[in-house]
């Protein structure tokens, strides 16, 4: 294998002249240890009916996880094994229903059971307990369960290009509702902090002065990078409903003097020019695929000589063997952005090079989930 779970012959590196992603994978090593088995990330041909059933019934496991998060099961079990009766008193569920939920969680490997007492698995303890350093439970509970699950019901009509006029068909539609924008953005902020910390450790922006964060949400990446590099300032371009929330996070971080917002649709807005870094995280997967080359060209034009582009997104290998979760997230986005395009590492590397960038690389970031593409504008 090459990279993080990359099969031999399917490497997504292209003439990398930028810092390696090894340090990023080190930061995310607890997650990598759980997810970077090749069979979990890349294509595995099915041969048995039971394997088809596992896919068909997968939604039940997802809902068991979400229900446990909504009822704080993992937080109550943190550091202390409990019987179903003990946990039912702690989380307010009937003992029978609590026992049924715990049994499902045990079958999924999220909890263990020994002599009638249930305890968190190492993964649940690390990532699903409220307040834990790497907790992303709210992201799963609020954004994935409450929002993405509902939107995936649109997938059949989205694939056939038959979405009704009142359907959600873009992020602009979705975020025009202030409450939906708030739920999504607050949960996404929690989900982005870990990758943002990893990015800050994997790249050297000590010589950069101005970063443009295109579609940067509530500023998790900009805040983290500005904390890591004291000479850096950032401009985040984002929908008004999201930008207002982001300004609150920026103020809480004490960075209002260094991070500002442009309250506009990032696709339509005018971006600052002469900047050192253009960052686009989770942008390409949520817009019309026909816009990808234009976004790259705009980044090139807006960068100062020697500046760099950073594209972080759900990206699959050029041979389309995976990673599985990246491919599924691309399908998820199609449900409410029908003209989104499945982005692969080979196409993206070629597009960056064709736009004039040098030292292009595309490497895994969140193992089995996302990749980070980089390129430098020639001096």
**How does pLDDT run across 362-374, given as a tens digit for each residue?**
999 999 999 999 9
pLDDT beyond 90 at 203: yes
**How does pLDDT run across 39-85, given as a tens digit for each residue?**
456 778 999 999 999 999 999 999 999 999 999 999 999 989 999 99
Lowest-pLDDT choice from 47-61, 113-127, 172-186: 172-186
At 40 the pLDDT is: 54
184 vs 49, higher pLDDT: 49
8 vs 269, higher pLDDT: 269
DSSP label at residue 366: S
364, β-bridge pairs: 371
pLDDT beyond 90 at 27: no
Per-residue pLDDT, averaged over 202-227, amounts to 97
Residue environment code for 269-308, b if the CB has 16+ CB neighbours within 10 A, otherwise e: eebeeebbbbbbbbbbbbbeeebbeebbebbbebbeeebb
Lowest-pLDDT choice from 187-191, 311-315, 347-351: 187-191
Contacts 24+ apart (CB under 8 A), 289-297: 289/339, 289/340, 289/341, 289/343, 290/339, 290/341, 291/267, 292/341, 292/343, 292/351, 293/351, 293/355, 295/214, 295/267, 296/351, 296/352, 296/355, 296/357, 297/355
pLDDT beyond 80 at 9: no
At 32 the pLDDT is: 45
Q: What is d(CA 48, CA 28) in angstroms, rounded to the nearest whole number? A: 33
Q: What is d(CA 306, CA 363) in angstroms, rounded to the nearest whole number? A: 21
At 41 the pLDDT is: 65
Per-residue pLDDT, averaged over 6-19, amounts to 33
State percent of the chain over pLDDT 70: 89
* pTM summary value: 0.83
pLDDT beyond 50 at 34: no
């Amino acid at each position: 294998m090459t990279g993080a779970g990359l099969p031999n012959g399917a490497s997504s590196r292209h003439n990398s002249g930028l810092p390696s992603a090894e340090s990023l994978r080190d930061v995310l090593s607890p997650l990598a240890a759980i997810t970077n088995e090749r069979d979990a990330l890349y294509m595995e041909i099915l041969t048995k009916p039971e394997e088809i059933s596992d896919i068909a019934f997968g939604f039940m496991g997802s809902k068991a996880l979400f229900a446990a998060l909504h009822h704080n099961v993992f937080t109550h079990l943190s550091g202390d094994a409990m019987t179903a009766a003990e946990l039912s008193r702690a989380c307010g569920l009937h003992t029978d229903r609590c026992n049924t939920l715990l049994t499902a969680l045990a079958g999924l490997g999220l909890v263990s059971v020994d002599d009638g007492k249930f305890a968190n698995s190492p993964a649940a303890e690390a990532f699903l307990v409220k307040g834990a350093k790497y907790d992303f439970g709210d992201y799963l509970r609020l954004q994935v369960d409450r929002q993405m699950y509902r939107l995936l019901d649109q997938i059949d009509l989205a694939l056939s290009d038959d979405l009704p006029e009142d359907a959600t068909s873009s992020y602009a539609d979705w975020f025009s509702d202030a409450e939906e924008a708030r739920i999504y953005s607050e949960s996404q902020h929690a989900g982005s902090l870990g990758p943002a910390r990893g990015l800050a450790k994997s790249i050297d922006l000590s010589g950069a002065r101005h970063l443009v964060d295109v579609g940067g949400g509530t500023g998790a990446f900009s805040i983290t990078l500005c904390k890591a590099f004291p000479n850096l300032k950032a401009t985040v371009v984002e929908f008004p409903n999201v930008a207002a929330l982001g300004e609150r996070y920026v103020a809480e971080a004490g960075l209002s003097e260094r991070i500002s917002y442009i309250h506009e649709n990032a696709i339509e807005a005018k971006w600052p020019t002469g900047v050192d870094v253009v960052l686009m995280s989770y942008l390409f997967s949520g817009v019309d695929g026909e816009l990808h080359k234009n976004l790259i060209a705009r980044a090139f034009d807006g960068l100062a000589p020697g500046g760099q582009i950073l594209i972080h997104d759900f990206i699959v290998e050029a041979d389309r063997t995976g990673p599985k979760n990246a491919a599924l997230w691309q399908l998820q986005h199609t449900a409410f952005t029908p003209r989104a395009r499945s982005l692969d590492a080979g196409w993206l590397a070629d597009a960056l090079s064709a736009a004039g960038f040098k030292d292009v690389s595309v490497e895994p970031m969140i193992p089995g989930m996302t990749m980070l593409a980089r390129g430098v504008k020639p001096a």
